[in-house]
């Protein structure tokens, strides 16, 4: 098989394994849906004082989409790659003629496809709650998603270098992402956050991605593509990629 066919081959089996793994299906697919339903029901009818006032459901659609894209990419990759590394699966793969990049490309492809599915799923559920799907902005939405997904994939791969064991994976990933979701206005609308919080969150890529995705999804004037936010997200991605190339390990750290 040539390189591209081999990536497709790897991707097929990564998809099978993903959908059969109850943990990945729950945390990556079910959890964002449940979270959106709860937030949409609790805050239904309320307004969020952003962009001259929008209703809470319209706010939470892009918010939870951002979360689920980060979950499908950074979180899924960091966790599954650490587990595969500690199980010796990465080492076993390195003993075959498969080029290492094929394995990574299969996993990244898996993450981006899941992210796209989550976009469609949450858009459909959002529409049931009255948040219209902005079809006219689809190119901007897809561009933002692809730049964000690729960058957060790099961040997830780089993060594996800082995770010593399978047991530590979930703790480290959640300890990084959960506070950033709160501080970036994903869970609590940004008009209700104290001054300075968003400025602090601006130091990290989650806030910039959410901001860019919000601009793409919510038709409230301005450009649909938030170039400055996307550039910052992409810079994080490139920096992470360089770290990953330098520090990613294929052999177990434990055992």
Partner 1 sequence: MSYGSTEAVRGIDLDVHRGEIFAFLGPNGAGKTTTVEILEGYRKRSGGEVTVLGEDPERAGREWRERIGIVLQSGRLDPYLTVRESLDLYAGYFRNPRPSEDVIALIGLEGKTDERTGRLSGGQQRRLDVGMALIGDPELLFLDEPTTGFDPSARRQAWDVIAGLRDLGKTVFLTTHYMDEAQRLADRVTIIAAGQIVARGTPQDLGERESGETTIRYRSGGREVVMQTTTPVQALHELTAKALADGEQLEGLEVTRPSLEDVYLELTAEAASPIEEGASS
Residues in the site for partner 1, rule: CB under 8 A? Answer: 1, 6, 9-10, 13, 16-17, 20-21, 84, 87-89, 91-99, 251, 255
Minimal distance, residue 128 CB to partner 1, in Å: 32
User: Is the Cβ of residue 86 or residue 190 nearer to partner 1 in the bound state?
Assistant: 86
User: Is the Cβ of residue 108 or residue 212 nearer to partner 1 in the bound state?
Assistant: 108
| Tokens read off for 35 | 């979270």
Minimal distance, residue 32 CB to partner 1, in Å: 21
Minimal distance, residue 92 CB to partner 1, in Å: 6
User: Is the Cβ of residue 11 or residue 181 nearer to partner 1 in the bound state?
Assistant: 11
User: Is the Cβ of residue 113 or residue 176 nearer to partner 1 in the bound state?
Assistant: 113
Minimal distance, residue 252 CB to partner 1, in Å: 8
**What is the number of other CB atoms lying within 10 angstroms of the CB of residue 73?**
29
User: Is the Cβ of residue 93 or residue 219 nearer to partner 1 in the bound state?
Assistant: 93
Minimal distance, residue 13 CB to partner 1, in Å: 5
| Tokens read off for 233 | 């997200």
């Amino acid at each position: 098989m040539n390189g591209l066919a081999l990536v497709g081959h790897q991707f097929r089996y990564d998809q099978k394994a993903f959908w059969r793994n109850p943990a990945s299906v729950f945390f990556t697919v079910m959890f964002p849906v449940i979270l959106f339903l709860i937030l949409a029901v609790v805050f239904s009818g309320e307004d969020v004082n952003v962009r001259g006032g929008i209703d809470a459901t319209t706010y939470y659609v892009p918010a939870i989409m951002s979360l689920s894209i980060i979950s499908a990419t950074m979180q899924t990759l960091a966790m599954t790659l650490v587990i595969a590394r500690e199980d010796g699966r990465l080492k076993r793969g390195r003993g075959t003629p498969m080029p290492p990049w094929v394995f990574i490309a299969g996993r990244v492809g898996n993450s981006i496809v899941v992210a796209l599915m989550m976009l469609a799923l949450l858009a459909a559920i959002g529409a049931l709650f009255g948040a219209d799907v902005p079809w006219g902005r689809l190119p901007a939405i897809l561009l933002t998603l692809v730049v964000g997904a690729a960058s957060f994939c790099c961040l997830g791969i780089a993060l594996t270098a800082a995770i010593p064991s399978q047991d530590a994976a979930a703790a480290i990933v959640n300890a990084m992402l959960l506070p950033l979701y709160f501080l970036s206005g994903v869970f609590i609308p940004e008009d209700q956050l104290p001054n300075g919080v968003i400025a602090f969150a601006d130091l990290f890529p989650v806030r910039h991605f959410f901001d860019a995705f919000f601009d793409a999804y919510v038709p409230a004037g301005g450009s649909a593509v938030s170039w400055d936010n996307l550039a910052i997200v992409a810079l994080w991605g490139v920096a992470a990629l360089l770290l990953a190339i330098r520090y990613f390990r294929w052999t177990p750290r434990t055992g």
